[in-house]
Amino acid sequence: MHRFFVKHKLDINDTAHLSDSDSIFAINKLKLNIEDFIEIETYESIFLALIGNIEKSSVEVQIVKKIEDKESIGPIDITLVQSLIGKNNFNFFLEKSVEIGIGRIVPIQSQYSHIKKNKAIREYGLWKKIIKDAVEQSRNITPTIIEKPINLKDLKVSNRSNRICLTTENIKTVSLNEYFGKVDIKKPTVIAIGPEKGWSSKDLEIMKEKGFSFVKLKTNILRAESAGLVVGSIIKYLKGEI
């Protein structure tokens, strides 16, 4: 049976319309007709639906019964702590974080952040919209959470989480492979990414106090907006989620 995605919440006996592209596909390619059954998927559930009306590029359905609920949202798996960077780069970072399934993003002001916390707070509404649009585009079951910017010293992390601080500074580090050879990959992971200019000695001291391990990647130096995406993707792969 053919399944289509609807981005808003539904219940039994509700009516809904397929998106324009899905409607055209259902009419022209699948040759579906009125009174045909299809499946409708939302962020929360999967339903059986009956096609009630078809127009030129619009398919209306009625929800007949619930097939199943999706798995409930569990604890946040991966958190990216991202030092504030340029607006366009940060917006790109947000969009791609949603696409790979990052659970939470915490923007922070570190010593060399490109943008200060108070100025960044003005962008918070835009950030939420970027994430909302990206969630709808990628059809994520668990939308990414974006928190308001904070100072690095105010960051709170669980002692039960894996804590990684990516760094290129001249301090004692381990490789990503070495780090995950010593910890439980199933635990939630917090990844801290610095700005373009890197971490200051004061920033690194704060990270050390908060229990972060310093990791250096055995590759070219990654840009601030892509480092967390790369490491987040690696972790999801190791967890069997990609």
pLDDT in tens, the chain (242 residues): 899 988 777 899 999 999 888 999 999 999 999 999 999 988 778 999 999 999 988 999 999 999 988 654 445 689 999 999 999 999 999 999 998 889 899 999 999 998 899 999 999 999 999 998 888 777 666 778 899 999 999 999 988 899 999 998 889 999 999 999 998 888 899 999 999 899 999 999 999 999 999 999 887 778 888 998 999 999 888 888 77
CATH superfamily of 3-69: Hypothetical PUA domain-like; domain 1 (2.40.240.20)
Residues carrying CATH 2.40.240.20, the chain: 3-69
3 state SS of 155: coil
Quote the pLDDT of residue 1. Answer: 87
User: Tens digit of pLDDT for each residue in 50-62?
Assistant: 999 999 889 999 9
CATH fold of the domain at 78-238: Alpha/beta knot (3.40.1280)
Where in the chain do CATH 3.40.1280.10 domains reside? 78-238
Q: Supply angle C-alpha 123, 192, 127, rounded to 5.
A: 15
Alpha helices in the chain (DSSP H): 20-24, 87-100, 117-121, 124-138, 176-180, 201-209, 224-238
Confidence (pLDDT) at 71: 56
pTM: 0.70
Instruction: Identify whether the C-beta of residue 124 lies closer than 8 Å to the C-beta of residue 91.
Output: no
**CB atoms inside a 10 Å sphere around CB 40:** 22
Q: What is the pLDDT of residue 148?
A: 93
- Count other C-beta atoms under 10 Å from residue 205's C-beta: 11
Task: Quote the pLDDT of residue 72.
Answer: 47
The amino acid sitting at 27 is: I
